[in-house]
Amino acid sequence: MPLENPKSDFSKWYSEVLLRANVVDVRTPVKGANVLLPNGYQIWEGIKSKLNYFFYNTGHQNAYFPIFIPEEFLEREAEHFEGFVPEVAWVTQVGTTKLKQKLALRPTSETIMYHMYAQWINSHADLPLKVNQFCNIIRMDTGETRPLLRDREFQWSEAHTCHVDASDASKQIKESMDIYQGVFDALAISYMTFRRPPHDTFAGADYSIAYDTLLPDGRILQIGTTHNLGQSFSKVFDIKFLDKDGETKLVYQTCYGMSTRVIAAVIALHGDDQGLILPPEFASTQVVLVPITFKKSTEAVIDRVKELEKELMDAGIRVKADFRENYTPGWKFSEWEMLGVPLRIEVGPKDLKNKSVLFVRRDTGEKFSVKDSEVVSKVNELKKEIHKVLLERANNILDELIFDVKTYDDLKKMMNTSRGIGRGNWCGSLNCATKIKEETKATIRGTREDIDETPDGPCIYCEKKGTQMVYFAQSY
């Protein structure tokens, strides 16, 4: 049965597709702590693999740190700790014995990692230090939870680096942005890069850069962040090194993270009323083979499908042949479309006779015959073509929902209709930002980090001189 159209009722469509497409099952005893099903976990595995590729080539190393964090560690960085207090889950008792000191279940890992960094770093020769951790995060958000969009337990990658000076830390910020751009481009995700305003900067950071994508319902989803921490944490955790001149100095730090939220972006930006459409690089099955059999030709068709399956596997293509006898070809077509498999190849008696197969693209629905001798090369060609089409579609979704807002009425009208991203002038006042959020639910996402823009008029709220060109949007 077809799903809702994601553009007409995104919320209903999203909930249905998560379960029916084997991505997430929310039927667990703890709200917001869900099962990431095989089809969803494969996307995350692909993201991890892509991150590892970039990390390896930029000198990062993977490690794993404890999930338990002593309360005193979080209290050391008071500003940082305050932001997480409402969401921290505590371990206060083991069996019948109450703990003398509470232990937090990792809401983020700065404190435990930096405690260790202080023990590892002694000399300038130990720098730069670049460590990434893949782990689960616990944030007991008391508000509404939505699978992948806002979970209480989720998977993520968090990288934390240390440097000899501010200049080297700034270079690391640029490197992290290049890494994330590589991942998002591979996922065919459209996004914008913003420097967050001071009131929305990560606690303890000098500045924060965030990557926002726009979902079909016109709301923004933050899919990654990069923070320049300066020396705020190194002062608290005493992370020092001996420089070349024999002087003891504090390190400069950065951190950046990306979570399973990115999976939600892949699903929302590429899906349709038939289910998922997965970028070929991240699909657990890139090609599904479906035999179309009749009594007299069954054995020959099955044999050809088996040959084709081996041929594609030997070429490094993730392929699955669907030999299930208790399902019709039409039923199989619908199921594999729901799961988002990029390509379907059908083999029937006529195809055997013509020494060809029938290709069906998931992204466009286009059908065409391909000669047996050209199947592998055509699959590899289409993997690139499908990725290109998905990226163009995602960029179109973003472009169509960016609007210039010259007045506050423009912004209010936009947020009451199509939503989207409003580009307008802001005076820099926290009061204006607060009032805008209260009245429209739109937050200031920040200034563009990738291009230079200057204000061209008064603040859309108070009409005083505009000091920044910023972007407004409702968010998840």
Residues 131, 134, 138: CA angle, nearest 5 degrees = 120
pLDDT of residue 80: 65
In angstroms, the CA 128 to CA 260 distance is: 28
Residue with the two structure tokens 């320049």 = 228
Collect the ranges in the chain with pLDDT lower than 50: none
For residue 256, how many other CB atoms are within 10 A of its CB?
A: 25
Q: Is the dihedral of CA 32, 33, 34, 36 positive or negative?
A: positive
SS3 69: strand
Residues in Cβ contact with 271 at an 8 Å cutoff, skipping those fewer than 6 apart: 6, 13, 17, 277, 340
DSSP 369-394: EEEGGGHHHHHHHHHHHHHHHHHHHH
Question: Token pair for residue 25?
Answer: 């099952």
pLDDT of residue 7: 67
Q: Is 274 exposed, middle or buried (0-12, 13-18, 19+ CB in 10 A)?
A: middle
Put simply, whether the predicted model's pTM sits higher than 0.85 gets the answer: yes
In angstroms, the CA 15 to CA 275 distance is: 11
pLDDT of residue 323: 96
pLDDT of residue 141: 82
Question: Token pair for residue 192?
Answer: 């914008």
In this structure, the dihedral spanned by the alpha carbons of residues 259, 264, 270 and 271, taken in order and rounded to 10 degrees, is 150
**pLDDT tens sequence across 191-238:** 999 999 999 999 889 999 999 999 999 999 999 999 999 999 999 999
pLDDT of residue 235: 95
In angstroms, the CA 109 to CA 357 distance is: 52
The two beta strands, 252-259 and 153-163, are antiparallel
pLDDT of residue 75: 83
Q: Is 24 left (phi over 0), alpha (psi -120 to 50) or beta?
A: beta
Domains in the chain (CATH in brackets) are: 10-270 (3.30.930.10), 285-380 (3.40.50.800), 402-473 (3.30.110.30)
Residue type, 467: T
The stretches of 257-328 forming alpha helices (DSSP H) are 261-270, 298-314
pLDDT of residue 202: 93
Q: Is 326 exposed, middle or buried (0-12, 13-18, 19+ CB in 10 A)?
A: exposed
Picking from 304, 282, 393, 307, the residue whose alpha carbon sits closest to that of residue 351 is: 304
Through-space distance between the first and last CA atoms of the chain, rounded to whole angstroms: 28
CB burial of 155-173 (b: ≥16 within 10 Å; e: otherwise) equals: bbbbbbbbbbeeebbeebb
